[in-house]
Structure 1
C-alpha cells in the first residue's frame, strides 16, 4: 500500500492547496471525496461531532429496531475484534453510533476521534469513512488509512456494512469494525458483510413471525372482503390476485386511500396492522381522463364528457400520479416549480370543483373516485409488455403543451418507455401505428425499421421511405 499511500498524500496536499488533484483515489473513494468536499468537510477537524448526549443514549438505544440484535452482533464480532485489537460499532441509519465494543486500548484511542457512542459518522459529518460511505452506497466498503478525508483518521482503517430492513427496504443502521491502519486487513469487509446479512436474516424471521400472528387473527375474522396489511403497508392476505402488488403506500393523514387498481378503501387499525375495506358509499363510476396527444384534454364524469383547460388537466394528472394526495404547497411546486404560489392553486382547485363536483378533496388535495386515465393505462400496458396494445393505446405525449416540471418528467419517461418497447418488441403494424403519432411521425429509427420490415410494395413502406427522404 506504500505507493498508493503516497498518491493519496499527494492528493490530500492538492486539496489543501485548493489545486486540481493530480491523481484521484480508487473510484468509490474518489466519488466519496467529492460528496464530502461538497458537504464542506474540514480536512483538519479532529473528531466526529457529538449527536446524542449520554443522558439520552439509553432511551435511543432501547427504541431502535436494532436493539434486539445487539447481543447477536456482539457474539458474532466482539470476541474476534478484541483478540485482533479492533473495535466493533453499530450505528443508526444516519451513522450515529449506538453501541461499541472491543479491545480496551483501541477503545481509548477511538475516544480521541469520536469513535464512540453518540458521535455522528455520516459522510456529511466527517467525510469519507467506512460507516458513512457504506450508508451512502448501501453496500459493504473498506476504507484504508489515507482514503479517509480527515487527516486525523489516517491512522485508522475500517470495514463497514449497512443493515437493510427486509420489511421496508430502508437502511436501519450499519455494523463496522475499525482498527489502526496496519492491523485491519481489507478482507474484514467479508466479516462485516456476513454479520449484516445475519442481522437481516434475523429481522426477516421476526417479520414473518409477526405476519403469521396477524394472519391467524385475520383468518379468525372470516372477513374476506378486507385486505390485511402489515404496520408498514405490506399486503399479507386478502389479495389473492395480486392486484395491489406486495405493498401499498399508507396515507400520511386520514384513513381513506385510492389503491393502484383504482378502488377506494378505508384503512382500519387491526391487531398492530391494518385492514383495508372497500368504501360502499363511493360511486363505482371512475373519473375518465383523456390527456394524451395534442387534442383538447377531457374528463368523463358520470358519463358526461367535459373539456378541460390545460391547468385543470395538469392538476388532475398530478393528483392521479399522487393518489395519496398533495398539499397546496406540493401541488404548486409540481405545477410551477419554485415560482409557484399556493394561493393560486387553491383558486384553481375551487374552479375545478365547480366544474367537476366533489371529485377533488382538500387537505390534502386528492381524487375521491377511481381513475381511468389513458396515460395510466399506458403504464399498465408497459408493465404487461404488450406492444400491440401499447401501439393501439398510444395517442401521443402526455399534455404536450404542459410546462409543469412533474408532468414533463412523467411525459418524457412515458415517451422513452413506449418508443423503446415498440422498437424492441413491436411488429411492423405496431411500428406503423406509432409512426402515425406526433412523436413517431418523423422518428428516423422507427421509419427505417418499417422500411426494412415491410415488403417494398407495401404502401406503408413507401410512405415511410417518403418521410425518410423528407427528413
Structure 2
C-alpha cells in the first residue's frame, strides 16, 4: 500500500542515506531516525550487512522462552494483533533477540533471509536503526519506514514496534513488533502495536497487584514480629506507613545487610514470595581510607586490609566521596568521560568494586555507605580553617594527577589554587618550602622567588632553582 506523503519522504531519504552511511553531512530525516542513525554509526554498523546476527541457537531460545515473563501473555498479544494477517509479528527480549514469531508464511520466508527469525538479535548495536532496536533504545513506540533503516537490505521492509516495561521493576522486558515487505505499513499499525504493549503491561500490573495482595494477607497474619514487607524486587508493600524508605529498597540478597537511605542498617529475611526487612544488630561498618594526593599510585584501606587500585576505580571512589548523597550511572559516566561516557561501562566497574568492598559501595544511587576518610576531603576541611602549617603538612601533591576526568580535574585545580594562595598569603618559610617539594611547587616561580628573599637555609636552595 502506498501513501502520497510517504512517497515524497522516501525520495528525501534515498538522497540522505548514502552520505549518512559514509559519515558525511546529510539532510536530516525525522528526529528519532536522525538520532538513531547517529547511535548506529557510532556503534560501527556496516550498512552492507545482509542479516541480523544469530546470537541464540534453538536450545537457548527454548530456555529463554520458558523463563521469560512475557510467555504467559503471548495469547493476549496474538489476539490483539490477530487482524494483521499479511505481516509477521515478533516478540523479543530486552536485548532485541527474537523469541517468538508468527504471521504470514510468505512474509516469514523472506524474513528468514534477513534474520527476522528466532534467535537473531535486532538491537541497534547489532543492525542499526530498526523498529525493534530503536523502540528498545528510546523506550517508546516507533515506526521505521523502509528507507529509514541503516542497512540497505532492509530498505524493502517497514516495521512498527513498541517496548514492554515491567511495572514492578521498571526494567525493559522486551518488544513487540510488526514487520512487512512494504514501503509503508498502514498508519494505524503503530497505534495497534502500542496498544498491544500497553495491554501486556496492564496484565503484568494486575498480576503484580495480586501477588502484592497475597503477600499483604500473609504479612498481616504475623503478630509481634516487626518488619517491613518487600516484593522480590525490593518494592515496599507494607510496614512503612510514613513512607520513610521511599518506594523501593536495594535487595542485596536474603540474609545480607543493606544500608537504608536514612542511614539505618537492616537485614533481609525471605518471606513467602518476597522479603521481610528487619533492623540488624548495630555493627560498625569497616571504614574506607583513600590516599589519592600526590604522585604515587592511589591507595585504599578497607578496614584492616589495603589493596592497590586502578586509576579508573580510584576516580569512581573519589567521585563518590565528593558526592556523599550518591550518583546514578549516567551521572558518574558524565563526570568521568563527559558527553562520550557509557553508563554500561560504569555499571561493570561498580560491580567489581562491590565484589571487593561489599556493602561499602551501595547502589540506587551509587554511594559510599560506610565511614570515609580521604586525604583530599581532609585537605578541604583544613582550607576552611586557613591554618597554613596544617595545610603544608597535608598537601602532598595534586589529586589523582593522571586523571583526565572533567570533574576530578576541576576539583584538583581548585584544591591546588586554594592551597597555593593560602600559603603565599600566610605561610612561613617552612610551609612554602614544603609546598615547593610538591609536583606543582617545584617550579613555581612566585613561591621560589618568595623563598629566595627570606632569611634562612631555604634561600640558597630557592635561588639555585630559580637560576
CA contact 1:130–1:143 (8 Å) conserved in 2: yes
> Any idea what the Cα deviations from partners look like across 1:195-225, whole Å, max 9, x if unmatched?
0000000000111111111111111112452
Q: 1:5 is matched with which residue: 7, 10, 27?
A: 10
1:80 maps onto 2:74 in alignment: no
Q: Hey, what's the Cα distance between the residues in 1 that align with 2:319 and 2:100?
A: 48
Q: Hey, what's the Cα distance between the residues in 1 that align with 2:44 and 2:53?
A: 14
State the Cα distance separating 1:280 from its structure 2 match. 3.4
CA contact 1:142–1:160 (8 Å) conserved in 2: yes
State the Cα distance separating 1:41 from its structure 2 match. 0.9
Q: How does 1:280-319 map to 2 (within 5 A)?
A: 280-282=281-283, 317=321
Q: Hey, what's the Cα distance between the residues in 2 that align with 1:316 and 1:191?
A: 45
Deviates more, 1:181-190 or 1:363-372: 363-372
Q: 2:74 is matched with which residue: 70, 77, 89?
A: 70
1:125 maps onto 2:126 in alignment: yes
CA RMSD of aligned residues (A): 4.1
CA contact 1:154–1:181 (8 Å) conserved in 2: no
State the Cα distance separating 1:314 from its structure 2 match. 5.7
How many residue pairs are counted as aligned between the two chains?
A: 332
1:364 maps onto 2:368 in alignment: no
> Any idea what the Cα deviations from partners look like across 1:260-288, whole Å, max 9, x if unmatched?
111111111111211111123447x9x9x
Q: Hey, what's the Cα distance between the residues in 2 that align with 1:315 and 1:3?
A: 51
1:90 maps onto 2:88 in alignment: no
1:49 maps onto 2:50 in alignment: no
> Any idea what the Cα deviations from partners look like across 1:124-167, whole Å, max 9, x if unmatched?
11110000000000000000010001111111110000001000
1:22 maps onto 2:23 in alignment: no
Q: Hey, what's the Cα distance between the residues in 2 that align with 1:188 and 1:23?
A: 27
Name the residue aligned to 1:150.
151
| Greater than 3 Å deviation, 4+ residue runs | 280-283, 313-323, 367-373, 401-409
Q: Hey, what's the Cα distance between the residues in 2 that align with 1:162 and 1:318?
A: 37
Q: Hey, what's the Cα distance between the residues in 2 that align with 1:259 and 1:99?
A: 41
| Structure 1 unaligned blocks of 5 or more | 288-310, 324-329, 338-360, 374-394, 413-471
State the Cα distance separating 1:19 from its structure 2 match. 5.8
Q: Hey, what's the Cα distance between the residues in 2 that align with 1:405 and 1:267?
A: 40
Q: Hey, what's the Cα distance between the residues in 1 that align with 2:279 and 2:404?
A: 34
Name the residue aligned to 2:65.
61
Q: Secondary structure in 1 aligned to 2:198? A: helix
Q: Hey, what's the Cα distance between the residues in 1 that align with 2:69 and 2:161?
A: 19
CA contact 2:56–2:120 (8 Å) conserved in 1: yes
Q: Hey, what's the Cα distance between the residues in 1 that align with 2:235 and 2:53?
A: 37
> Any idea what the Cα deviations from partners look like across 1:215-248, whole Å, max 9, x if unmatched?
1111111245211111000001111110000101
CA contact 1:320–1:371 (8 Å) conserved in 2: no
State the Cα distance separating 1:364 from its structure 2 match. 1.8
Q: Hey, what's the Cα distance between the residues in 2 that align with 1:48 and 1:59?
A: 21
What TM-score results when the alignment is normalised by the length of structure 2?
A: 0.63
CA contact 2:164–2:172 (8 Å) conserved in 1: yes
Q: Hey, what's the Cα distance between the residues in 1 that align with 2:112 and 2:245?
A: 50
Q: Residues 314 and 39 of structure 1: is their aligned pair in 2 closer, same or farther, counting only changes over 3 Å?
A: closer
Deviates more, 1:223-232 or 1:32-41: 223-232
Q: Hey, what's the Cα distance between the residues in 1 that align with 2:360 and 2:26?
A: 54
Q: Secondary structure in 1 aligned to 2:24? A: coil
Q: Residues 211 and 10 of structure 1: is their aligned pair in 2 closer, same or farther, counting only changes over 3 Å?
A: same
State the Cα distance separating 1:181 from its structure 2 match. 2.1
Q: Hey, what's the Cα distance between the residues in 1 that align with 2:164 and 2:61?
A: 20
Q: Residues 362 and 143 of structure 1: is their aligned pair in 2 closer, same or farther, counting only changes over 3 Å?
A: closer
What TM-score results when the alignment is normalised by the length of structure 1?
A: 0.62
Q: Secondary structure in 2 aligned to 1:221? A: coil
Q: Secondary structure in 1 aligned to 2:221? A: helix
Q: Residues 108 and 364 of structure 1: is their aligned pair in 2 closer, same or farther, counting only changes over 3 Å?
A: same
Q: Hey, what's the Cα distance between the residues in 2 that align with 1:203 and 1:3?
A: 41
Q: Hey, what's the Cα distance between the residues in 2 that align with 1:38 and 1:316?
A: 29
Q: Residues 402 and 198 of structure 1: is their aligned pair in 2 closer, same or farther, counting only changes over 3 Å?
A: farther
CA contact 1:128–1:148 (8 Å) conserved in 2: yes
> Any idea what the Cα deviations from partners look like across 1:156-200, whole Å, max 9, x if unmatched?
110000001000111100011111224612331111111000000
Q: Hey, what's the Cα distance between the residues in 2 that align with 1:130 and 1:224?
A: 51
Name the residue aligned to 2:258.
257
Q: Secondary structure in 1 aligned to 2:160? A: strand
Q: Hey, what's the Cα distance between the residues in 2 that align with 1:171 and 1:370?
A: 28
State the Cα distance separating 1:58 from its structure 2 match. 1.6
Name the residue aligned to 2:168.
167
| Structure 2 unaligned blocks of 5 or more | 1-5, 288-314, 328-332, 342-354, 363-367, 373-383, 386-397, 412-467
